[in-house]
Structure 1
Amino acid sequence: MTNSVEMKASSQSLGWKFFNAFFGVVVIGIGTVNIFWGNDPGFGIFLIVLSSAYFPPIQALLKEKTGRTIPGLVKFLLGVFILWAALGVGELFDKVDMMIHGL
């Protein structure tokens, strides 16, 4: 019985790790668009730095060095902030349109 509980926990953990990494890659993409096709490359660099909070190797390194991890609620709120800033204030869709028409 313990084996099945451990397997379920590890598969959930693997799913969350995949989701975190996927969201981190999305944020890196948003940051890259802001660096090269926006008027605020500093904001793009800031987003890329924030995306590191979502990658499992960085999370493991943080836990190894400090003994602490970033709580899920903090990552959720950070993700909401990133999406709000990129889609609303950062005008991501306008920048993507500029990028497509520039090619």
Structure 2
Amino acid sequence: MTIPEHLLVFCSGLLSHLYWDTGMCEVFDAYVALVSDRPFYEGRNNEGIYRFFREEYSVYGCIFKPTGVGKNKDSIALTSRYDFIWQDLSDGRKYYIIEI
């Protein structure tokens, strides 16, 4: 799976978490992502899906599938804005936490 596809998975994971938090079951009120590759949070291309993770540090609105079948057609729609800050961990790894 490519880095842009992983970024889309992060967004869909957040969306899935939001659907589970409807009162039908008890869930944690945070979404955590951990990465070990610099291209997730840094690079020359800050267009498309990269802008959310490399420049704006926030996910919101319609996030379109960045590659493959359904590119720029299939999307994930977030109804709120979710800000985050990349935190250093160790050995080049970083993580972020989105509180919901």
Q: TM-score range by the shorter chain?
A: 0.3 to 0.5
Which has the bigger relative contact order, CA under 8 A and spacing at least 6? 2
TM-score when scaled to structure 2? 0.32
Structure ranking higher in strand proportion: 2
TM-score when scaled to structure 1? 0.31
Structure ranking higher in helix proportion: 1
